[in-house]
Structure 1
Amino acid sequence: MNKSIWRRAGLSLTAVAVIAGVSACGGDDKKNGAETKLQSGAELTKVLKASYKKTEEAKSAKVEMVANMPKSAAFDGGGEMKLSGVMGWDPMVMDMTMSGGALKDTPGAPEQTRMMWINNIMYMDAGAELAKQMDGKRWMKMDLGAVAKESGDAALQKQMTGGLDNMDQNPAEQIAMLLESKSIKHVGAVKMNGVDTQHYKGTISIEEMVAKNDSLVLEKNERAQLIKGMKNTGVTGYNTQIWVNKDGLPVRTDVSMSTKEGPISMVANYSDYGAKATVTPPPANQTFDFAQVLKEAAEAMKAMKEAGTTP
């Protein structure tokens, strides 16, 4: 299979990972003029639970995300990746423009591309150059469940299909995760992106994250392996921060972690809660199915092995 298809597929999966961990953003973080009394544990829990409810009810928002990953063999297309657009949750929908990351290193790739998410399927505009190799079809369809099934890896299937539920990582879920942190605290009142907010932060361990994530339909030993694998990368936990405005809605969420390859941060600004988030999939005649591409590649490889012509 053409290497550029694989690179775009990797870019899509990287984007999935970013969205699944929807978090961070950039902006100012300045203390308000007057010092404010820090909230007690009971007070901040009450505030964040109320914020969780309001955010869940909002159903959608405009979002600008920035993800930074180390440039290394483990993070193909590392560096800075930006996404902006509209996201809805319960159910998860998305219509975003992406730039940076592996796009910069993929020959023939556009400077930016459009991504859509609906019915647990991601569609990515792979660009005019790749369309020439795919009978003029430029939209790559990526059904994570189908891709996992095609891999033949049972553990991968369970993780990826279970992860589909986890894709609904809206800002409300970020609040829920922060409430699980044993180190959660109220930092104080600050200006964030020109808005008066209350700033909260905490660290969530890998064990807490896995225990909280009910969508990971894994056996006890598989969960232990997942935790061990993540720790082997140098990740022991997630540093999570949230800035909540006077209406009880997150203005910013921020998640960062350290790995052996280098630091990772994922960044998102939220605004216009309740913004319309309607997504229409691309026409079928403009779409190619990545799971089918994988299947055809596997069949071609099998035929080459049988013929003794494996490259």
Structure 2
Amino acid sequence: MKTSVRGSARRRAAGAGLAALALAGGAVGCAKGDDESPAMEPAAAVAKAAKNAETITSFRYTMTGKVPDAGRVNGEAAMSVKPPAMSMKITAQDKGADGKVEIRLVDKAMYIGGGAQAAKEMDGKSWIKFDMSALGADKQLNPAQLGAGQADQNPATESTFLTGSKDVKKVGTETVDGVKTTHYQGNVTLDELEASLKGKDKATRKTREKSIAQYEKMGVDSLVMDMWIDGDDHTKKFRMRGDADKGPLDMTITFLDINKPVTVTAPPAKDTVDLAEMMKDASGAES
């Protein structure tokens, strides 16, 4: 039975990675602007929105699209940057009963829930807890495999990537979720993204290099990026497309609000299995 539970844990961890992947590729948006972004050169408009994204401390958003090796996904999430916290519900539409995953990041612990389907495989408990400070001790289950290294990442980082493009252009004006916006688009390679880090401060370089590394691991060489900017010079919607080793990447994130309180609570202990204890028990049973 414990070996089966361990296998279930690995499948749930993989689901977490899909959800965390969907996090990457967004810009922080604001829904209060009444008009599209003021008229200015496309590159300047994108740079201003990217600069504003750096000051965001919390946000809510929806996501939809395709991710490599998972197919169609959609979901919704709320995230606090300071202090780090996150709540996400995501569905991999092509994965059937195993496609629904909920993730919560609270007090340096990540919880992954699979609802009733997971409860059937884990003695009635529907959540798995990962202590992020302890992850990586077992080489067979490291943070990268779990997606834990991405789960607490600020999606606003990717909004700055369009500033690395040399061909940003204005596509037109559109209304997104009731907000008037200006639509911009550009192509950017990973080499251009890395070159754009020149002159940035150490903290900014570290954050952006971490995001760039994700695309490198996916086998993405370049991205087509779209950004919809509102009248307050914030990104309201963001889309990223690219070809990865395991399939197409095409994610659209629409932001609902910014800088409003985000409260995330841990699941009830009675419904939670601690991965560290699970792995310890499984190791003992196999020895």
- TM-score bin (small chain): 0.7 to 0.9
Q: Distance in 2 between matches of 1:146 and 1:120?
A: 10
**Counterparts of 1:66 and 1:188 in 2: how far apart (Å)?**
22
CA deviation profile, 1:120-149 (whole Å, cap 9, x unmatched) = 432122223433553443211234553333
Distance 1:283 1:137, change over 3 A: same
Moved more, 262-271 or 112-121: 112-121
Taking a change above 3 Å as real, the CA distance of residues 69 and 17 of structure 1, as seen in their structure-2 partners, is: closer
Q: How does 1:58-207 map to 2 (within 5 A)?
A: 58-69=56-67, 75=69, 78-101=70-93, 103-106=95-98, 112-144=100-132, 146-151=134-139, 164=149, 167-171=152-156, 173-207=157-191
Cα distance between partner residues in 2 of 1:104 and 1:216? 34
Q: 1:18 aligns with which of 22, 29, 36?
A: 22
Aligned to 2:41: 40
Using a 3 Å threshold, how does the CA distance of structure 1 residues 165 and 83 change in structure 2: closer, same or farther?
closer
3-state SS of paired residue (1:148): coil
Describe the shift of the 1:189–1:65 C-alpha distance in structure 2 as closer, same or farther (beyond 3 A).
same
Q: Tell which has more relative contact order, 1 or 2 (C-alpha 8 A, sep 6+).
A: 2
Correspondence for 2:227: 242
Q: Deviations over 1:139-180 (max 9, x none)?
A: 112345533331268xx66x6899847843333x23322212
Aligned residue identity for 1:84 = E
Whole-Å separation in 2 of the counterparts to 1:217 and 1:21: 14
Q: Equivalent of 1:253, from 238, 253, 256? A: 238
Kept in 2, the 8 Å contact 1:67–1:80? The answer is yes
State the 1:228 CA deviation.
Answer: 11
Whether the 8 Å CA contact 2:24–2:158 is kept in 1: the answer is: no
Q: Which has the larger radius of gyration?
A: 1
SS at match of 2:137: helix
Given that 2:25 and 2:239 are in contact with CA atoms closer than 8 Å, whether structure 1 keeps it comes out as: no
CA distance in 1, matches of 2:270, 2:130: 15
* Shift in Å, 1:242: 1.0
Say if 2:182 and 2:230, in contact at 8 Å, map to a contact too.
yes
Give the TM-score of the pair, scaled to structure 1.
Answer: 0.69
Q: CA deviation at 1:268?
A: 0.9
> Aligned equivalents of 1:177 and 1:57: distance in 2?
16
TM-score (norm 2): 0.74
Distance 1:167 1:130, change over 3 A: closer
C-alpha distance in structure 2 between counterparts of 1:160 and 1:6, whole Å: 9
| Alignment counterpart, residue 49 of structure 2, candidates 45, 48, 51 | 51
Matched AA of 2:186: G
Asked whether the 8 Å contact 1:21–1:169 carries over to 2, the reply is no
Deviation track 1:166-210 (CA, whole Å, cap 9, x = no partner) reads 843333x23322212333333343333442212222233233446
Residue identity opposite 2:81 in structure 1? W
Secondary structure, aligned partner of 1:142: strand
- 3-state SS in 1 of match to 2:136: helix
SS in 1 for 2:138: helix
- The alignment covers a number of residue pairs equal to 267
* SS of alignment partner, residue 253 of structure 1: strand
Letter in 1 for 2:134: A
For residues 273 and 294 of structure 1, the distance between their equivalents in structure 2, rounded to whole angstroms, comes to: 39
- For residues 44-77 of structure 1, the C-alpha deviation after alignment (integer angstroms, 9 at most, x for no partner) is 32x334323443444222211113135xxxx2xx
The CA RMSD measured in Å over matched residues stands at: 3.8
Map of 1:27 onto structure 2: none
